[in-house]
Amino acid sequence: MRAWAVGRPGPVDTGPLVRVDRELPGPGPGQLRVDVTCCGVCRTDLHLAEGDLAPRRPLVVPGHEVVGRVAALGPGTGRFAVGDRVGVAWLGGTDGSCRFCRRGDENLCTAPVFTGWDVDGGYAEACLVDERFAHRLPDGVDDEHAAPLLCAGLIGYRALRLADVPPGGVLGVYGFGGSAHLTAQVALAQGLRVHVLTRGEHNRALARRLGADSVGDARDPPPEPLDGAVLFAPAGDLVPVALRALDRGGTLAVAGIWLSDVPPLVYADELFQERRLRSVTANTRRDAEEFLTLAARLGVRATTVPYPVDEAPRALADLAHGRFGGAAVLHAR
Q: How far is the CB of 97 from Zn ion (least distance, A)?
A: 6
Contacts for 147 with CB less than 8 Å, ≥ 6 apart:
38, 39, 40, 65, 66, 67, 87, 302, 304, 327, 329
Q: What residues contact residue 71 under an 8 Å CB cut-off, 6+ apart?
A: 32, 33, 34, 35, 82, 126
Q: Which residues pair with 182 in a beta bridge?
A: none
Give least dist CB 244 to Zn ion, A.
28
User: Based on CB atoms, which residue is closest to Zn ion, 176 or 275?
Assistant: 176
Map the footprint of Zn ion across residues 15-74, applying CB under 5 A: 42, 44
Cβ closest to Zn ion, residue 44 vs residue 203:
44
Q: For residues 137-156, which are near Zn ion according to CB under 5 A?
A: 151
Q: DSSP secondary structure string, 186-209?
A: HHHHTT-EEEEE--SHHHHHHHHH
- The one-character DSSP state at 263 is P
Per CB under 5 A, does 98 bind Zn ion? yes
- Count the residues of the shown chain that bind Zn ion, applying the rule CB under 5 A: 8
Q: If binding is defined by CB under 5 A, does position 302 make contact with Zn ion?
A: no
Q: What is the smallest separation between the CB atom of 30 and Zn ion, expressed in angstroms?
A: 16
Which C-beta is closer to Zn ion: that of 151 or that of 253?
151
The CA angle 63-299-292, to the nearest 5 degrees, is 45
Residue 95 in contact with Zn ion, rule: CB under 5 A: yes
Instruction: Report the 10 Å Cβ neighbour count for 89.
Output: 28
Number of H helices, E strands in the chain: 9, 17
Stretch that binds Zn ion, among 102-110, 133-141, 264-272, 310-318 (CB under 5 A): 102-110
Q: Which is nearer to Zn ion, 62 or 169 (CB)?
A: 62
215 binds Zn ion (CB under 5 A): no
Nearer to Zn ion, 133 or 241 (CB): 133
CB of 42 to Zn ion, least distance (A): 3
Name the one range near Zn ion by CB under 5 A: 27-35, 69-77, 91-99, 188-196: 91-99
From residue 106 to residue 125, the character string flagging contacts with Zn ion as x (rule: CB under 5 A) and all else as - is ---x----------------
Q: Using CB under 5 A, pick the residue from 37, 94, 203, 284 that binds Zn ion.
A: 94
CB nearer Zn ion, residue 170 or residue 315 = 315
> Shortest Cβ distance from residue 167 to Zn ion (Å)?
28
Query: In the 8-state DSSP scheme, what is residue 218?
Result: T
* Closest CB 311 distance from Zn ion, rounded Å: 19
Count CA atoms closer than 13 A to 288's CA, side-chain side.
Answer: 25
Instruction: Measure the CA–CA gap between 20 and 76, rounded to whole angstroms.
Output: 30
Alpha helices for the chain (secondary structure H) = 43-50, 99-102, 143-146, 152-163, 178-189, 201-209, 238-245, 285-298, 312-320
Question: Looking at beta carbons only, is 42 or 173 nearer to Zn ion?
Answer: 42
Task: Kindly indicate which of the ranges 88-96, 161-169, 230-238, 239-247 contains the residues binding Zn ion, using the contact rule CB under 5 A.
Answer: 88-96
Greatest Cα pair distance, the chain, in angstroms, is 59
Residue closer to Zn ion (CB basis): 162 or 170: 162
Of residues 155 and 196, the one with the C-beta less far from Zn ion: 155
* Strand 327-331 to 31-40 pairing: antiparallel
SS3 96: coil
Residues that bind Zn ion (CB under 5 A): 42, 44, 94-95, 98, 101, 109, 151
